[in-house]
Amino acid sequence: MFFDPTSAILVLTPLLVPVAQSLGIDLIHLGLIMTMNIAIGMFTPPFGLNLFVSQGVFKKPIHDIVKSLSPFWIWYAISLLIVTYLPQIYLWIPEMVAK
Protein backbone atom coordinates (compact mmCIF):
# COMPACT_ATOMS: atom_id res chain seq x y z
CA MET A 1 0.00 0.00 0.00
CA PHE A 2 3.01 2.31 0.23
CA PHE A 3 4.15 1.85 -3.39
CA ASP A 4 2.60 2.79 -6.67
CA PRO A 5 1.74 -0.54 -8.38
CA THR A 6 4.20 -0.08 -11.22
CA SER A 7 6.98 0.89 -8.83
CA ALA A 8 6.16 -2.03 -6.55
CA ILE A 9 6.42 -4.51 -9.41
CA LEU A 10 9.63 -2.98 -10.76
CA VAL A 11 11.32 -2.81 -7.35
CA LEU A 12 10.04 -5.94 -5.60
CA THR A 13 10.07 -8.47 -8.43
CA PRO A 14 13.87 -8.55 -8.89
CA LEU A 15 14.22 -8.89 -5.13
CA LEU A 16 11.64 -11.64 -4.64
CA VAL A 17 12.22 -13.83 -7.72
CA PRO A 18 15.62 -15.22 -6.62
CA VAL A 19 14.28 -15.87 -3.13
CA ALA A 20 11.20 -17.63 -4.52
CA GLN A 21 13.32 -19.74 -6.88
CA SER A 22 15.63 -20.79 -4.06
CA LEU A 23 12.60 -21.80 -1.98
CA GLY A 24 11.05 -23.72 -4.89
CA ILE A 25 8.05 -21.43 -5.34
CA ASP A 26 6.53 -21.38 -8.82
CA LEU A 27 7.00 -17.98 -10.45
CA ILE A 28 3.39 -17.93 -11.71
CA HIS A 29 2.30 -18.46 -8.12
CA LEU A 30 4.55 -15.63 -6.95
CA GLY A 31 3.24 -13.32 -9.66
CA LEU A 32 -0.37 -13.99 -8.78
CA ILE A 33 0.25 -13.42 -5.08
CA MET A 34 2.11 -10.18 -5.81
CA THR A 35 -0.66 -8.98 -8.13
CA MET A 36 -3.38 -9.71 -5.60
CA ASN A 37 -1.46 -8.00 -2.81
CA ILE A 38 -0.87 -4.93 -4.94
CA ALA A 39 -4.56 -4.85 -5.90
CA ILE A 40 -5.56 -5.02 -2.24
CA GLY A 41 -3.09 -2.24 -1.45
CA MET A 42 -4.74 0.00 -4.03
CA PHE A 43 -7.83 0.40 -1.85
CA THR A 44 -6.33 0.00 1.62
CA PRO A 45 -5.86 3.13 3.74
CA PRO A 46 -3.87 5.30 4.23
CA PHE A 47 -2.27 5.46 0.76
CA GLY A 48 -4.70 3.52 -1.44
CA LEU A 49 -4.80 5.35 -4.75
CA ASN A 50 -8.24 3.97 -5.61
CA LEU A 51 -9.65 5.49 -2.42
CA PHE A 52 -8.75 8.95 -3.63
CA VAL A 53 -10.12 8.26 -7.10
CA SER A 54 -13.38 7.01 -5.54
CA GLN A 55 -13.55 10.08 -3.36
CA GLY A 56 -13.33 12.32 -6.41
CA VAL A 57 -15.86 10.33 -8.43
CA PHE A 58 -18.50 9.82 -5.73
CA LYS A 59 -17.97 13.14 -3.90
CA LYS A 60 -18.03 11.36 -0.55
CA PRO A 61 -15.66 11.71 2.43
CA ILE A 62 -12.85 9.17 2.54
CA HIS A 63 -14.05 7.64 5.82
CA ASP A 64 -17.42 6.78 4.24
CA ILE A 65 -15.68 5.03 1.36
CA VAL A 66 -13.36 3.12 3.70
CA LYS A 67 -16.31 2.07 5.86
CA SER A 68 -18.24 0.79 2.85
CA LEU A 69 -15.23 -1.21 1.62
CA SER A 70 -14.71 -3.09 4.90
CA PRO A 71 -16.79 -6.17 3.95
CA PHE A 72 -14.86 -6.51 0.71
CA TRP A 73 -11.51 -6.65 2.56
CA ILE A 74 -12.67 -9.85 4.23
CA TRP A 75 -13.40 -11.47 0.85
CA TYR A 76 -10.10 -10.28 -0.59
CA ALA A 77 -8.23 -11.67 2.41
CA ILE A 78 -10.00 -15.02 2.06
CA SER A 79 -9.26 -15.19 -1.66
CA LEU A 80 -5.62 -14.25 -1.06
CA LEU A 81 -5.32 -17.03 1.52
CA ILE A 82 -6.86 -19.54 -0.90
CA VAL A 83 -4.53 -18.52 -3.72
CA THR A 84 -1.50 -18.52 -1.43
CA TYR A 85 -2.06 -21.85 0.28
CA LEU A 86 -3.89 -23.83 -2.43
CA PRO A 87 -1.89 -23.15 -5.62
CA GLN A 88 -3.04 -26.39 -7.25
CA ILE A 89 -6.43 -24.71 -7.84
CA TYR A 90 -5.00 -22.55 -10.61
CA LEU A 91 -1.52 -23.91 -11.43
CA TRP A 92 -3.01 -26.72 -13.55
CA ILE A 93 -3.99 -24.15 -16.21
CA PRO A 94 -0.44 -23.45 -17.52
CA GLU A 95 0.24 -27.19 -17.57
CA MET A 96 -2.83 -27.78 -19.74
CA VAL A 97 -1.84 -25.01 -22.14
CA ALA A 98 1.70 -26.40 -22.50
CA LYS A 99 0.40 -29.84 -23.57
Q: What are the strands, taking DSSP E only, across the chain? A: none
Q: What is the pLDDT of residue 7?
A: 87
Q: What is the mean pLDDT of residues 57-80?
A: 90
Q: What is the band of 99 on the pLDDT scale with cuts at 50, 70, 90? A: low
- How far, in Å, are 16, 23, 36, 40, 98 from residue 91 at the CA level? 19, 17, 15, 21, 12
The whole-model pTM stands at 0.79
Proportion of the chain above pLDDT 70, given as a percent: 93
What integer pLDDT is reported at residue 4 of this predicted model? 80
Asked if the model's pLDDT at residue 95 lies above 80, the reply is no
What are the boundaries of each domain within the chain? 5-98
Residue 1 has pLDDT above 60, yes or no: no
